[in-house]
């Protein structure tokens, strides 16, 4: 869930919910709950030796410059050498970052990670000639070489195709140099945002009705206290938190406007019709997918409003439902169920048994090894992730297991990434083993959905059943409707600039307000949106990553369609899903999806998710009637 950056450009989605970090009063470390990094490098000294050798190898890679067009054999030799250096760099980087995360305060571990980052930068510099040279060799000659060398085609064919696709958007050497020189300046809005939002905004202090004193109502405190069961308290939290953002509306507006202008600049000079198509180019994703997602989320608003009305009823709210009523749990259980790591593994195996014996065998193998650093500990990195960096070894996972349902769900989610990696690495050569985020989150969210259905089915009481149904619904609100609304906002603000309009902070808030009111049914009397909260856009860091958040929503829609087909034993559905995971990064994500039976540019997957949401609410209605 957490974003990790690897050499092979394998990046996962950052967590949607802020983690509150490791518990300071942790039990002593039991090796059984720690990973064993000696499978990557036997000792830190072995890492250093491998690092030095790889750095020397990387230094020689520019000697291949100018050889690619000579023959198929020359091209294969050069690509092999680059690939070998990249593979070892991934593994070195993986070890360094895992070792650092064991305790983020240890200086030698921080330094090792810096060395890995420097190695990665050197590798980038020493191979920066590669893409321009392949483009100048040209598609015709590359295809001719592939016809002569089966190995060139099978291992590098897709990679080459992906590079050649960029030809119409690649400029002459002089223009490319100008763009490269400007890139640092164009990346600054994110820094400005981060300095302001995470450093200089003077977050207020606040007292709650039970005497709780919040010293600093920052993002993490807001994420916690907005769930307050006392309605006056959560309104107070909203008013204080958004009140301070409102004061910086102009500055955040200037910062986001600059980000939008930077993206428009790139689209224009690279000859893309608009910023959206530029952003989607990396994944070769048709704009139609993005626009269909937005259209289908809008078509699903009656279902979303049904959920909001249910929420209002269950929270016992008289009068208008407010935006500050979204976060408290609709169902609380007096004794929340507890899940140890062993319980979570057992449930994880049971839940994913629908994927068949191959998946189960892999998950068992993973659980029996020491692949996880699973318990919270002082100094340990917060959050959760799966690291796939060591292609020849196995994935590693970092969790902060707290024995609650969220921990169980996170474990099942991250192991979804891990088994995806195992299936992929077993099937694909290193060169096509890096899957896109678009596919990655489908593998993990599918597991979360299967888990949610399993917990509803196996709940020991009505209260427990309702709790799980509520969790399932809230996941759809935050992952599908909220992220699509963000995606629609990004589209709207870019289109304003493309039409020649200017974007001030006030104008951004007006656009955001329009969307918030529309999604939450303000004009239909479903929710009353206080315009004071329409500065929420200021708080979303993802708007500085380009058009990115839409993938949360598409992944969830895909997961809903896949899990429904698998749970209802639709012929071939399970095998097609597993085949998609095995295909790794061997084709563009939209094509991999199609082979698995889903067209993400069609309404079907989004409708499957809406159907799922209604089904969860039907079950709640039925249970509520039993009262
Ligand atoms: Zn994930």
Ligand 1 centre to CA of 26 (Å) is: 25
Edge-to-edge strands, sheet with 372-373: 372-373, 396-398, 385-387
Tell me, letter by letter, the H, E, C secondary structure of 211-227: CCEECCCCHHHHHHHCC
Which sign, positive or negative, has the C-alpha torsion 498, 501, 506, 509? Answer: negative
- Specify whether 414 is catalytic: yes
| Res. 184: pLDDT tops 90 | no
For residue 4, what pLDDT is reported? 33
Average pLDDT, the chain: 93
pLDDT, one tens digit per residue, over 254-285 is: 999 999 999 999 999 999 999 999 999 999 99
CA dist 163 and 72 (Å) reads 17
Position 627 confidence tier, pLDDT thresholds 50, 70, 90:
low
pLDDT, one tens digit per residue, over 475-515 is: 999 999 999 999 999 999 999 999 999 999 999 999 999 99
Ligand 1 centre to CA of 285 (Å) is: 20
Ligand 1 centre to CA of 221 (Å) is: 24
| Res. 14: pLDDT tops 70 | no
For residue 30, what pLDDT is reported? 84
Between 29 and 346, residue with greater pLDDT:
346
Ligand 1 centre to CA of 451 (Å) is: 15
Q: State mean pLDDT over 138-161.
A: 97
Please measure the distance between the N-terminal and C-terminal CA atoms of the chain and give it in whole angstroms. Answer: 38
Which sign, positive or negative, has the C-alpha torsion 577, 583, 588, 589? Answer: positive
Asked whether 383 and 402 are in contact (CB, 8 A), the reply is: no
Ligand 1 centre to CA of 489 (Å) is: 23
Q: State mean pLDDT over 163-172.
A: 92
CA dist 199 and 280 (Å) reads 32
Ligand 1 centre to CA of 442 (Å) is: 8
Half-sphere CA count of 247, side-chain side, radius 13 A: 12
Ligand 1 centre to CA of 230 (Å) is: 32
Ligand 1 centre to CA of 441 (Å) is: 5
For residue 28, what pLDDT is reported? 59
Ligand 1 centre to CA of 119 (Å) is: 27
Tell me, letter by letter, the H, E, C secondary structure of 135-158: HHHCHHHHHHHHHHCHHHHHHHHH
For residue 13, what pLDDT is reported? 41
Hey, what long-range contacts does 194-198 have (CB within 8 A, 24 or more apart)? 194/541, 196/248, 196/251, 196/252, 196/255, 197/252, 197/538, 197/539, 197/541
pLDDT, one tens digit per residue, over 597-620 is: 999 999 999 999 999 999 999 999
Position 180 confidence tier, pLDDT thresholds 50, 70, 90:
confident
The single-letter DSSP state of residue 430 is G
Picking from 13-17, 119-123, 227-231, which range would have the lowest pLDDT averaged per residue?
A: 13-17
Ligand 1 centre to CA of 524 (Å) is: 35
What are the beta bridge partners of residue 164? none
Q: State mean pLDDT over 203-217.
A: 95
Ligand 1 centre to CA of 16 (Å) is: 10
- What pTM did the predictor assign? 0.91
For residue 626, what pLDDT is reported? 86
The percent of residues above 70 in pLDDT, for the chain, comes to 95
Position 7 confidence tier, pLDDT thresholds 50, 70, 90:
very low
Looking at 133, 414, 448, 488, which residue is catalytic? 414
| Res. 178: pLDDT tops 90 | no
For residue 211, what pLDDT is reported? 95
* Ion ligand 1 — residues with CB < 5 Å: 1, 444
Ligand 1 centre to CA of 411 (Å) is: 10
Tell me, letter by letter, the H, E, C secondary structure of 255-308: HHHHHHHHHHHHHHHCCCCCHHHHHHHCCCCCHHHHHHHHHHHHHCHHHHHHHH
Ligand 1 centre to CA of 299 (Å) is: 27
DSSP secondary structure, 176-202, as one string: HHHHHHHHHHHTHHHHHHHHIIIIIS-
pLDDT, one tens digit per residue, over 403-447 is: 999 999 999 999 999 999 999 999 999 999 999 999 999 999 999
Ligand 1 centre to CA of 493 (Å) is: 28
Q: State mean pLDDT over 194-209.
A: 92
Ligand 1 centre to CA of 383 (Å) is: 11
Ligand 1 centre to CA of 329 (Å) is: 23
pLDDT, one tens digit per residue, over 347-394 is: 999 999 999 999 999 999 999 999 999 999 888 998 899 999 999 999
| Res. 188: pLDDT tops 60 | yes
């Amino acid at each position: 869930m957490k974003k990790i950056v690897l050499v092979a450009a394998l990046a996962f989605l950052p967590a949607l919910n802020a983690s509150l970090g490791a518990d300071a009063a942790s039990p002593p470390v039991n090796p059984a709950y720690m990973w064993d990094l000696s499978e990557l490098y036997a000792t830190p000294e072995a890492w250093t030796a491998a690092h030095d050798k790889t750095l020397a190898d990387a230094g020689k890679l520019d000697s291949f410059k100018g050889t690619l067009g000579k023959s198929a054999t020359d091209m294969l030799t050069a690509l092999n050498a680059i690939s070998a250096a990249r593979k070892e760099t991934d593994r070195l980087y993986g070890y360094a970052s895992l070792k650092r995360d064991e305790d983020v305060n240890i200086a030698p571990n921080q330094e090792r990670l810096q060395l890995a980052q420097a190695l990665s930068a050197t590798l980038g510099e020493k191979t920066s000639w590669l893409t321009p040279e392949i483009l100048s060799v040209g598609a015709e000659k590359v295809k001719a070489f592939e016809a002569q060398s089966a190995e060139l085609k099978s291992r590098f064919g897709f990679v080459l195709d992906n590079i050649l696709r960029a030809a119409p958007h690649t400029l002459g050497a002089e223009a490319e140099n100008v763009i490269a020189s400007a890139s640092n300046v164009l990346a600054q809005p994110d820094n400005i945002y981060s300095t302001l939002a995470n450093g200089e905004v003077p977050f207020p202090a606040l007292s709650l009705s039970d005497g709780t004193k919040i010293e600093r109502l920052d993002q993490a405190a807001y994420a916690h206290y907005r769930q307050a069961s006392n309605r006056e308290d959560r309104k107070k939290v909203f008013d204080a938190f958004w009140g301070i953002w409102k004061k910086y509306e102009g500055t955040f507006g200037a910062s986001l406007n600059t980000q939008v202008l930077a993206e428009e600049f790139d689209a224009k000079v690279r000859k893309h019709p608009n910023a959206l198509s530029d952003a989607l180019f990396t994944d070769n994703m048709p704009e139609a997918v993005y626009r269909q997602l937005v259209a289908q989320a809008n078509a699903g608003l009656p279902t979303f409003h049904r959920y909001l009305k249910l929420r209002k009823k269950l929270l016992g709210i008289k009068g208008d439902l407010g935006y500050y009523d979204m976060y408290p749990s609709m169902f609380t259980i007096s004794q929340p169920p507890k899940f140890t790591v062993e319980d979570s593994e057992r449930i994880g195996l049971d839940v994913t048994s629908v994927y068949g014996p191959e998946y189960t065998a892999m998950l068992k193998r993973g659980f029996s090894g020491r692949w996880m650093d699973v318990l919270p500990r002082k100094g340990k990195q917060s959050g959760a992730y799966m690291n796939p960096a060591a292609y020849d070894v196995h994935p590693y996972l970092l969790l902060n297991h707290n024995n609650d349902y969220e921990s169980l769900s996170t474990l099942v989610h991250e192991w979804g990434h891990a088994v995806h990696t195992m299936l992929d690495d077993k099937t694909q050569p290193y060169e096509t083993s890096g899957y896109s985020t678009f596919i990655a989150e489908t593998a993990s969210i599918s597991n979360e959905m299967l888990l949610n259905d399993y917990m509803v089915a196996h709940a020991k009481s009505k209260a427990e059943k309702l709790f799980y149904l509520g969790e399932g619904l809230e996941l759809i609100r935050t992952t599908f409707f909220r992220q699509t609304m963000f995606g629609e906002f990004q589209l709207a603000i870019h289109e304003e600039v493309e039409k020649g309009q200017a974007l001030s902070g006030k104008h951004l808030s007006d656009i955001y307000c329009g969307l918030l009111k529309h999604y939450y049914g303000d004009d239909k009397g479903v929710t009353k949106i206080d315009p004071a909260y329409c500065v929420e856009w200021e708080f979303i860091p993802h708007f500085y990553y380009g058009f990115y958040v839409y993938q949360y929503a598409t992944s969830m829609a895909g997961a809903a369609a896949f899990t429904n087909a698998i749970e209802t034993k639709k012929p071939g559905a399970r095998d097609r899903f597993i085949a998609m995971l095995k295909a790794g990064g061997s084709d563009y994500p939209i094509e991999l999806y199609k082979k698995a039976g889903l067209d993400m540019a069609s309404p079907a997957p989004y409708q499957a998710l809406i159907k799922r949401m209604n089904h969860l609410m039907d079950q709640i209605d039925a249970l509520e009637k039993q009262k």
